[in-house]
Amino acid sequence: MDLQIDGNAALVTASSSGLGKASAKALAREGANVVINGRDEDRLEDARAEIEAVATGEVVTQPGDLTNADDIEALVETTVDEFGGIDHLVTSAGGPPSGPFLETDDEDWYHAYDLLVMSVVRLAREAAPHLREGDGGTIVTITSRSVKEAIDSLVLSNSVRMSVIGLEKTLSKEFAPEVRANAVLPGAHETARIRELVDQAVDRGDYDSYEEGLDDWGAGVPLERIGDPMELGNTVAFLSSPLSGYVNGAAIPIDGGSGASNL
């Protein structure tokens, strides 16, 4: 299927690994020119090589910390300088630390808000003039299924990510009709973080094999497995394309049907 984004310019944050990288890979494979971002320059270069292996568009790296306003400004400037504008913004960020409410201090709350919410605020503000220049700009925010159902010991993610959904819904109205804004809410996917957790559990003797551990992560999912990151990436690319042209202001779970919420 041709997503009709060949030659478009996309900025994908936190894309040196995980779901951000999968999103950048899906966009680049469809012909979009992509700027990828991460704090670790070596890992960022590895990601570029992996994405370039399937890309039909250009891939440019821009290191930066999403809690740093100057770094966010540089991300947008690099995309515009390299590709002449921005058609698609995909926001992703590493998750905040786990822990129960009474073990979470003020510094944890402020850092989580800066990382998860203010990064999207600053990115959308900086990118808005460029996204609105055409008639097909898109924003896709990668959040978490925790905005639908609170997850035990993830008080920061449960609470703070809700602000991103409120922002996404607001932008879907204020930036329309030139720009559409949507969110994806991933469940468990086989990212490097999940692989690390399963390997650690195997080393502890919790599982006899990696495959057994992975099967356990998929227990309770109607599709009987966790997700492949590219399944989420493909959805992000679709939401960034004209083929999803009437999807706006949506928050779409990508969790294999594991959620129990009706809405």
pLDDT for position 153: 87
pLDDT for position 2: 93
Query: Do 158 and 109 share a domain, yes or no?
Result: yes
Q: What is the pTM of this model?
A: 0.95
Helix 155-174 / helix 119-131 crossing angle, nearest 10 deg = 20
Q: Would you say residue 4 lies in a domain?
A: no
Comparing CA positions, the residue from 249, 229, 225, 227 lying closest to residue 239 is 249
CB 3 within 8 A of CB 244: no
pLDDT for position 80: 98
DSSP string, 193-234: HHHHHHHHHHHHTS-SSHHHHHHHHTTT-TTSSPBPHHHHHH
CB 59 within 8 A of CB 7: no
Query: Do 149 and 201 share a domain, yes or no?
Result: no
Q: Kindly state the percentage of the chain with pLDDT values over 90.
A: 87
Query: Do 133 and 194 share a domain, yes or no?
Result: no
**What is the spatial distance between Cα 237 and Cα 4, in angstroms, rounded to a whole number?**
10
Q: For 110-146, how does the pLDDT look when each residue is reduced to its tens digit (9 = 90+)?
A: 999 999 999 999 999 999 999 999 779 999 999 999 9
- In CATH, what number is assigned to the domain containing residue 36? 3.40.50.720
* CA dihedral of residues 247, 191, 147, 62 (deg, nearest 10): -70
Please state the domain count of the chain: 2
Q: Which of 24-28, 95-99, 161-165 has the lowest mean pLDDT?
A: 95-99
Task: Give all strands of the β-sheet with 59-61 in edge-to-edge order.
Answer: 59-61, 33-36, 9-12, 88-91, 137-142, 179-186, 251-254
pLDDT for position 91: 98
**What is the spatial distance between Cα 72 and Cα 89, in angstroms, rounded to a whole number?**
12
Q: Would you say residue 244 lies in a domain?
A: yes
